[in-house]
Amino acid sequence: MPLRATLLPLLLPAAVVALLVATLDTPQGAAAAALVTLAGSLMALGVSRGAMQEQLDTLTRHTRGRAEGATGAPAPGPEQLEEVASLGGAIDSLHAQLSAQNAALTQEARTLTAVLDGMAEGIWVTDAEGTVVRHNDALRDLLQPAGGHIIGQRPLALIRDELLHDAVMRACREGASTRLELALEGLFPRTLSVRVTPLGRDLPGSAAVFHDVTELRRLEKVRKDFVANVSHELRTPITAIRGYAETLQGGALTDAVMAPKMVEIIHRQSERLSELVEDLLELSRLESREVRLRLTEVTLAEAAARATDTVRPKAEGKGQRVSLHVPPDLRALGDPRAVEQVLLNLLDNAVKYTPPGGRVDVYGACEDGRCVVRVKDTGLGIEPKHLSRIFERFYRVDKGRSRDMGGTGLGLSIVKHLLGAMDGEVRVESQPNVGSTFTIFLPLVAPAKAATG
Ligand code: ADP
């Protein structure tokens, strides 16, 4: 019996129900008719199922017999061949559809993994119990878990933070999202901004995105400290100027002894104020790379001599001897004004932090293909714990002494920036109560250029 014929018993009762519902007008009558029809349908379905089963068995027998090469198997008739062909076609198209869907799903999963692993933020996904079931590469780099395992772990085992744990459980149980910031301690302390969200209505579990904000927070702190430092540095001379000006206004102007001293202090403080503003502007220009240095040949002996001339009056006032030992043919590639400013800042510090009667020596040499200039003093020296920080803005070993000596706390920071812009560098060696040596390195002028220059 062909498949088409097996469907007939099912279609007939349906037609009967439609006819009865149309002719009977009482609900009880219609219900009775429907019951009768339903019974008929079930019987018919039993018949048709049996017939269909028989049909399929015959087709299977035929097909298997043909496949095994059994010559005795009676060949199926043209109608049966048609049934096999259409069944086979349906199976093939189902298989093709499933294969395409499978390939699309595999591709999607691969894309998702690639996107997750390409992200700078760390991500983990948990199941409904809060256990991590998936994560990306960035999360591993961020957490560097002790045992190396992340999958299968609970949040508290990975990051000891109750708030994070609570946030994950709230997302899993209540579908609540949370934002929080974590401070990870250890060898490399990190600050992480975390967002925990539920996965979705039909998906139990949660996802957490970890954003490393360590550098951002550090920069914020640097900016805040800088503003606080600038305000403080500006306030000191301004307070002094205003105080003395008010005292003068209040009658001290006529005091022949005090008035000149106060005016002298006002003058000194206003000079300090303008030096501070100058240094700040210079530093800000250097940091924003606004200053374009003109790199050319610089004769270091000349630059050192000019810087020494500037500090000599101060050094002589303190009974110090400043000596130059720079070969006249030592030429660096740099910006003449910047090189002179670097040497001036170092010499000014050497004179400033060396007691009366001390010595300051400037040596020049060519070492390992670079120009080297050393500014050596017999001054107060710097304790080792301060050495790595003296090039920071506003860092002073002794705040009171630096200010009393007219320092802004920006000199060495400017030196470092200027040398950096000329492909050079600065280093320091120092011994408390013995003295300090600041060494600068600059590129040597290329021999061909030196010869023609
Ligand atoms: P300042 O304007 O205070 O001199 P700098 O940036 O030039 O600022 O120097 C930073 C700090 O480094 C100084 O406050 C001082 O404590 C220390 N320092 C710099 N040069 C010397 C030196 N030659 N001898 C001893 N200490 C020095």
User: Does 9 have pLDDT greater than 70?
Assistant: no
User: How many Å apart are CA 197 and CA 189, to the nearest integer?
Assistant: 25
Residues 6+ apart with CB under 8 A from 315: 321, 322, 351, 360
Atom of ligand 1 nearest to the CA of 407: 2
User: Given this model, what pLDDT does residue 32 score?
Assistant: 52
> Which domain does 261 fall in, by range?
219-286
Do 307 and 279 lie in one domain? The reply is: no
Position 78 scores a pLDDT of 72
Cβ distance 287 to 321 under 8 Å? no
Mean pLDDT in residue range 29-49: 51
Tokens of 329: 């043919």
Which range among 76-85, 200-209, 247-256, 349-358 has the greatest average pLDDT?
349-358
| Closest C-alpha to ligand 1, atom 23 | 350
Is pLDDT above 60 for 33?
no
Separation CA 14–CA 322 (nearest Å): 117
pLDDT in tens, 425-445: 999 999 999 999 999 999 998
Residue 306 confidence (pLDDT): 96
Residue ending a domain, among 266, 286, 306, is 286
pLDDT (tens digit, 9 = 90+) per residue, 72-102? 556 666 776 677 678 778 888 999 999 999 9
Q: What CATH number is given to the structural domain containing 133? A: 3.30.450.20
Q: Are residues 151 and 266 in the same domain?
A: no
Q: What is the pLDDT of residues 309-336, one digit of tens each?
A: 999 999 999 999 999 999 999 999 999 9
Q: Do 236 and 203 share a structural domain?
A: no
Q: Are 139 and 124 in contact (CB under 8 A)?
A: yes
Distance 390 CA to ligand 1 centre (A): 7
pTM above 0.85, yes or no: no
Alpha-carbon span 363 to 361, nearest angstrom? 6
Pocket around ligand 1 at a 6 A CB cut-off: 349-350, 353, 377, 379-380, 382, 390, 395-398, 402, 407-413, 436
What mean pLDDT, rounded, does the chain reach? 84
Least confident of 10-24, 321-335, 403-417: 10-24
Same domain, 257 and 233: yes
Q: Into how many domains does the chain fold?
A: 4
* Residues in a beta bridge with 198: 206
The sign one gets for the Cα dihedral 121, 125, 129, 131 is negative
384 falls within a domain: yes
CA 140, chain centre distance (Å): 15
Mutation to probe ligand 1, out of 233, 273, 382, 431 (largest number of atoms < 8 A from CB)? 382
Compute the Cα dihedral for 53, 55, 56, 60 and give only its sign.
positive
Q: How far is the CA of 413 from the centre of ligand 1 (A)?
A: 10
Q: Of 50, 78, 103, which one is at a domain's C-terminal end?
A: 103
Mean pLDDT of 216-227: 90
Same domain, 178 and 255: no
Residue 398 phi, psi dihedral angles, 5° rounding? -130, 100
Contacts 24+ apart (CB under 8 A), 35-39: 37/13, 38/13
Q: Specify whether 330 is located in the same domain as 438.
A: yes
Q: What CATH number corresponds to the domain at position 269?
A: 1.10.287.130
How confident is the model at residue 269, as a pLDDT?
92
Q: Which residues contact 342 (CB under 8 A, 6 or more apart)?
A: 415, 418, 419, 426, 440
393 and 324 share a domain?
A: yes
Q: Measure the CA–CA gap between 339 and 302, rounded to whole angstroms.
A: 11
User: Is residue 112, in this structure, part of any structural domain at all?
Assistant: no
Are residues 64 and 157 both part of a single domain?
Answer: no
Kindly state whether residues 30 and 159 are assigned to the same domain: no
Give domain status of residue 23, yes or no.
Answer: yes
What is the pLDDT, as a whole number, of residue 326?
96
**Among the listed ranges 42-46, 90-94, 209-213, which one has the minimum average pLDDT value?**
42-46
Q: How crowded is residue 69: how many other Cβ atoms within 10 Å of its Cβ?
A: 7
Which of 282, 349, 440 for a ligand 1 pocket mutation test, highest count of atoms within 8 Å of Cβ?
349
Residues 267 and 347 both lie in one domain: no
* pLDDT level of residue 277 (50, 70, 90 thresholds): very high
The answer as to whether 183 is a domain residue is yes
Among 229, 253, 286, residue at a domain's last position: 286
Q: What is the 3-state secondary structure (H, E, C) of the chain?
A: CCHHHHHHHHHHHHHHHHHHHHHCCCHHHHHHHHHHHHHHHHHHHHHHHHHHHHHHHHHHHHHHHHHCCCCCCCCCCHHHHHHHHHHHHHHHHHHHHHHHHHHHHHHHHHHHHHHHHHCCCEEEEECCCCCEEEECHHHHHHHCCCCCCCCCCCHHHHCCCHHHHHHHHHHHHHCCCEEEEEEECCCCCEEEEEEEEECCCCCCCEEEEEEECHHHHHHHHHHHHHHHHHHHHHHHHHHHHHHHHHHHHCCHHHCCCHHHHHHHHHHHHHHHHHHHHHHHHHHHHHHCCCCCCCCEEEEHHHHHHHHHHHHHHHHHHCCCEEEEECCCCCEEEECHHHHHHHHHHHHHHHHHCCCCCCEEEEEEEEECCEEEEEEEECCCCCCHHHHCCCCCCCCCCCHHHHHHCCCCCCHHHHHHHHHHHCCCEEEEEEECCCEEEEEEEEEECCHHHHHHC
Single-letter amino acid code for the residue at 53: Q
Does residue 89 or residue 21 have the better pLDDT?
89
In this predicted model, what pLDDT tens digit does every residue of 163-184 receive, in sequence order? 999 999 999 999 999 999 999 8
Q: Is residue 115 part of a domain?
A: no
- Residue 407 burial (CB count, 10 A): 22
Select from 437, 415, 439 the least CA-distant residue to 427: 439
Q: Could you give the CA distance from residue 83 to residue 56 in angstroms, rounded to a whole number?
A: 9
Q: Is residue 111 part of a domain?
A: no
Q: Which of 351, 380, 396, 438 to mutate to test the pocket of ligand 1 (most atoms within 8 A of CB)?
A: 396
Percent of the chain residues past pLDDT 70, beyond the cut? 81
Same domain, yes or no: 428 and 299: yes
Asked whether residue 259 carries a pLDDT value surpassing 90, the answer given is yes
* Same domain (yes/no): 311, 402: yes
Q: How confident is the model at residue 7 (pLDDT cuts 50, 70, 90)?
A: very low
Beta partners for residue 190, in sequence order:
184
In a domain, 146, yes or no: yes
Range with lowest mean pLDDT among 40-49, 102-111, 132-141? 40-49
d(CA 250, CA 247): 5
Q: Tokens at residue 223, please?
A: 């900016």
Q: Are 21 and 38 in contact (CB under 8 A)?
A: no
Query: Looking at the domain assignment, is residue 452 inside a domain?
Result: no
